[in-house]
Structure 1
Amino acid sequence: MKVYKLFFILLFSMLTISCTSKNIKKANQIINKIENYRKLKHVIPNNLNAIGVKETEEGPVYYKKVDSLNYMVWVQAESSIGESKIYYSDTQKWENGFREVDKSKSK
């Protein structure tokens, strides 16, 4: 019985990693489109529709314009166990989970 549990845990983990990797690849393609848009128009798009990507509430890739220069792109974890992967344009890096907001800076 323990062998079966271990097998299903490993299988579920591999599927989750595979789906997340596929979504990251799709997100990286969107990031390239956003950066090309920025080079051509000297601004970042207000939404993904501006770069020819249909936005849906179901994702799997999400976009948010933070300000006139910065944006976030993220993919939800494939399970409730994992965290989202977020790309921040200010660092040009993927991070695990959303950043903490320092409320003392906003006053």
Structure 2
Amino acid sequence: MAPDIGSLDVDVAAAQSAVSDALDTVGTKQQEILAESPRRTAASYGKGLGDRAVQLVELRRRAHEIRLAHVDRLRAGLENTAGTLTAVSGTDEQSRRVFGAGEGR
């Protein structure tokens, strides 16, 4: 059975507000991650670790890159959602104008 299109109302303003808040939060987190960039060198682990210290530094660097990639994807998804909400809002408004004026009948 097809859904009743009339019952699919979306509070676009509330959804846009929530997405905006989420974008702000993600932006703040992104800045925090960038500020936490690993700075430790292999030499800082001491002479006894040798190659293991190099591996630790590389592991920390890679983990940092992954965190940045995840937050970038999250931001992109939220931006996509914001664009979709804008489109829904425009379509909703156009539908109200057309059907409210009786043009669709």
- TM-based fold match above 0.5: no
TM-score by length of 2: 0.39
TM-score by length of 1: 0.38
Q: Which has the larger radius of gyration?
A: 2
Report 1 or 2 for greater relative contact order, CA contacts < 8 Å, sequence distance ≥ 6: 2
The structure with the largest strand share of the pair is 1
The structure with the largest helix share of the pair is 2
